[in-house]
Amino acid sequence: MNLIRRTLSSLAVAALVVGTAVAQQTPPKPVPVPRPVTPEAPVPPPPDVDGKSWVLMDYATGQVLASKEPDLRVEPASITKIMTDYVVSAEVANGKVHMTDPVNISENAWRSGGAGTDGSTSFLKLNSQVPLKDLLYGLIIQSGNDAAIALAEHTAGSEQAFAGLMNGYAKQLGMTNSNFVNASGYPVANHYSTARDIAILSRALIHDFPEDYAISAIKDFEWNGIKQHNRNLLLWRDPTVDGIKTGHTAAAGFCLAASAKQGDSRMIAIVMGSTNEKTRADAAMALMSYGFRFYETHKLYDGNKPLATPRLWKGASNQLELGVADNVLVTVKRGDYDKLQATMDVPATLIAPFTKGQQVGTLRITLDGQPVQNVPLIALADAPQAGFFGRLWDSIMLWFHSDKKPDEKK
C-alpha cells in the first residue's frame, strides 16, 4: 500500500514538473505584417505670432522651446500682478501675513487704484476692511489696481517697501532683467521686465503656490455688488488653459501670460506687446499648441530611488545609494527621445560620512552631445562612519586601491 502511495506521489510530482516546464516555454514571436517605412516627421519652426516679444516655455524643465526677443526689456503692465501674487503668497507661506487678515483700504489704494482712475479696479470702498484672500481674487481675476496697492501696503507697510520685496524675490528666482517699482504695473520710469523673466516667474508661481495659482482659472468674481470677468479669453476657448494673467497699457500694448496642461505636459506662453486683446490670445494659443504638437515630455528617472550604489569606504555600510531628489523629466522634439544619453559623474573614492540629501555627484543628460539637464546626485540615506576597526581596515585597503593616500573627511 505504501509502495502504491509513493508511486502515485512520484507521478504527481512528475506531472507538476512537466506542467511547469510547459508553462515556462516561450511561444514563437509573431512576425509583423510588412508595412511601408514612414519617414521621421520634421519639426517646423514656431509660428510667427503677433507680439513685440514672446516666449514658449516647457513647465516641467523650464526649457525655452521657442522665443522672439525674450530678453527685451518692456513695460509689463498688469502682468506685474503675477509678481505681486507671488510675493503675497510667499509671505503667507512664511507666516508673515494670513489669508484671513482684514486689510485696510487706504486712501492711497482707493485714490490711486480705485473707481476714480482709468485703470482696472475692484471697486474697493475707502477705509473698508477686506479679507486678504478676497483681495487676491480681486488682484488676479479683476486685475484690481486698488487690490494690488492694498495688498502691498498690508504685506510690507508701504508700496515702496513691497517693491523691494518684489525685486528681492525676483532675484531669488533668477529674473535677471526685471525691476519693479510698484505692485500694480502702473507705468512709471524704471519699471520693466522681459518675456523670459515673466515665464520664469509664472513657472515658479505654478510650482510653489498651486492653490493660489488656481485662482487665475476662475472666470469671474463679484465684489461690492459688481461682477467682473477674467480678461483671459483663453479660459473660454480651451478647457486645458488654467491661467495666468493679462495686461494692457497704451505703452505696453496687449500682454498675456498663459498656461495650459495636456496629460503630463504643461506649456507656458508669454506674449508682450501684441496689438489687441484677440491677437494676444491667438498668439499665446498658437504657441502652446505648437509646443504640445511637436514636443513631448518623458520621465527618465524616479525621485528618491537608487540609480547607483558605488563603493563606500570607512562607512557602516560598504555601499552608498545615490539618486535624485525629484523625478527627472525632459522635454524634447518628438522623435528625439532615443537620442538622449545619460551619464553620472561621481568621485572615484567615496569616504563616509554622508548625510541624506547631500550632493555627491551629477547626473548629466545630453542630446546629440548638447547638454539638456544637469541634476544633482544625492545620498538617499545617511551613511555614518564605521567603528574604529572598520575605518582602520578600509584605510589599509585603500592603500592597495590607489597610488597615493586619498584625502579623508575629518
Burial of residue 407 (CB within 10 Å: 0-12, 13-18, 19+) is exposed
Measured over the CA atoms of residue 194, residue 197, residue 202 and residue 205, the dihedral's sign is negative
**CA angle 101-114-216, nearest 5°?**
60
Query: What pLDDT is stored for residue 26 in this prediction?
Result: 47
Q: Residue 333 in contact with residue 298, Cβ under 8 Å?
A: no
pTM of the complete model: 0.79
Q: Residue 230 in contact with residue 239, Cβ under 8 Å?
A: no
Q: Is the peptide bond before 244 cis (omega within 30 degrees of 0)?
A: yes
- The residues that bridge with 241 in the sheet, in sequence order, are 260
Per-residue model confidence as pLDDT tens digits over 229-260: 999 999 999 999 999 999 999 999 999 999 99
Q: How many residues appear in the chain?
A: 410
Burial code (b: 16+ CB inside 10 Å, e: under 16) for 328-347 equals bbbbbeeebeeebebeeebe
> Smallest Cα–Cα separation from 299: which of 354, 269, 342?
342
Query: What average pLDDT does the chain have?
Result: 89
Q: Which residues contact 24 (CB under 8 A, 6 or more apart)?
A: none
Tell me which H or E stretch contains 15. helix 2-23
Query: What pLDDT is stored for residue 25 in this prediction?
Result: 42
- The residues that bridge with 323 in the sheet, in sequence order, are 378
SS3 of 229, please?
A: strand
What is the residue-wise DSSP string for 80-129?
A: HHHHHHHHHHHHHHTTSS-TT-EEE--HHHHHHHSTTSSS----PPTT-E
Q: Residue 152 in contact with residue 185, Cβ under 8 Å?
A: no
Query: What pLDDT is stored for residue 116 in this prediction?
Result: 80
Q: Which amino acid, residue 52?
A: K
Written as nine digits, the cell of 289 is 499648441
SS3 of 166, please?
A: helix
Looking at the annotation, which residues are catalytic?
Answer: 78, 81, 143
**d(C-alpha 334, C-alpha 338), whole Å:** 10
Query: What pLDDT is stored for residue 19 in this prediction?
Result: 37
SS3 of 13, please?
A: helix
Q: Residue 86 in contact with residue 165, Cβ under 8 Å?
A: no
Q: Residue 123 in contact with residue 223, Cβ under 8 Å?
A: yes
Query: What pLDDT is stored for residue 97 in this prediction?
Result: 98
Strands (E), 263-302: 265-274, 295-301
State the first-to-last Cα distance of the chain, in angstroms, to the nearest integer.
Answer: 76
For the chain, list residues with pLDDT below 70: 1-40, 402-410
Neighbours of 232 (CB within 10 A): 26
Per-residue model confidence as pLDDT tens digits over 345-376: 999 899 999 999 999 999 999 998 889 889 99
What is the residue-wise DSSP string for 321-351?
A: -EE-SS-EEEEEETT-GGGEEEEEE--S-EE
Q: Are strands 64-68 and 53-58 parallel, antiparallel or unpaired?
A: antiparallel
Query: What pLDDT is stored for residue 115 in this prediction?
Result: 82
